Amino acid sequence: MDSKKLKYFLAVVEAGSITRAAGRIPVAQPALTRQIRLLEEQVGARLLERDRKGVSLTHAGQFLYDNGRRLIDELEWVARKARTISDGYSDSLSIGITTIHSCIPGISNLISRFRAEHPGIRLTLESMLSGPQAQAIIDGELDAGILFTEQEDDPRLGYLPIASYRMAIVASRRHPLTKAPPTALRAFAEAPFIRFSRDSTPGSYDRVDRCFEQAGIVPNTILECHDDITIRSLVAAGMGYAIMPSIMARGESDLVAYEPDDLQIFSQLMLAWRKDSVSKTIDELCRMVSHPA
């Protein structure tokens, strides 16, 4: 099967029409239509039903779409590995790391240890938020990731726990409530709240919302951000409070962390990888996580 035609097919399905897909690729619409027809001839089955609204998948088309993305990801993975070997390495490993890795010494220690024990493996690090990390692993853009998530968040991923951190209210030391440390979320009910956007850390976002619901309050959200470093700096400047892993306030003279009784959330730092991947390199990384030096 021609991988180029398969990529065109995936683009058409995801765009919902040949016209929109042609504009995104970009390629002339008649040429794209011809490529889809040639793919159908090659497969020996009709893949798309066309109407004025766009395209829909036949049963055969649905099967090809469900498996086609995985095939393309695997082809691109093989190409990356081939380039690695051509450059003189025995293998490669691309790892996503949380954007607050500098607050967690264990991450740097793990990476340093892996690099020291496996100098023949090309190691690539990408600093990314947890949500995008998980998607990049699923899409085959990363081999593994070190991220904040829960084991039930995505069944397509395998997980290995690294550490657990209590979530806390992080506020500026200049905040009025610092004079009498609060013991409940309600103390911050009217205070401006700066939070992560849901696509950054969906699991944590939903768990925080459940805590607010159980406390019977609606947070005064003034801003949503994708970047925890930005949130921390805005909180330190006195713009509002945030709910973050308590380690975010550690060693910061401008910040204080509170752990109220009704905020019983723990943020799990995990090593994650795609379940259907078979990699001795990832197996070795898992061994190091399970048996820290």
Query: Domains of the chain: which residue ranges?
Result: 3-75, 85-162+269-290, 163-267
Topology annotation, domain 3-75: Arc Repressor Mutant, subunit A (1.10.10)
Kindly report the CATH class assigned to 85-162+269-290.
Answer: alpha beta
User: Distance between CA atoms of 139 and 158, rounded to whole angstroms?
Assistant: 14
Topology annotation, domain 163-267: D-Maltodextrin-Binding Protein; domain 2 (3.40.190)
pLDDT tens for 205-219 read 888 999 999 999 999
- 5 has pLDDT over 70: yes
Give the list of residues 6+ apart from residue 171 with CB closer than 8 angstroms, or none. 177, 178, 188, 191, 235, 241, 242, 255, 256, 258
> For 87, what's the count of Cα atoms within 13 Å in the CB-facing half-sphere?
13
> For 110, what's the count of Cα atoms within 13 Å in the CB-facing half-sphere?
25
Confidence of residue 242 (pLDDT cuts 50, 70, 90): very high
Angle, helices 59-86/3-15, rounded to nearest 10 degrees? 130
- Give the pLDDT mean for 143-159: 85
pLDDT tens for 76-99 read 777 777 776 777 666 788 999 987
Q: Do domains 85-162+269-290 and 163-267 have the same CATH topology?
A: yes
Confidence of residue 287 (pLDDT cuts 50, 70, 90): very high
pTM given for the model: 0.65
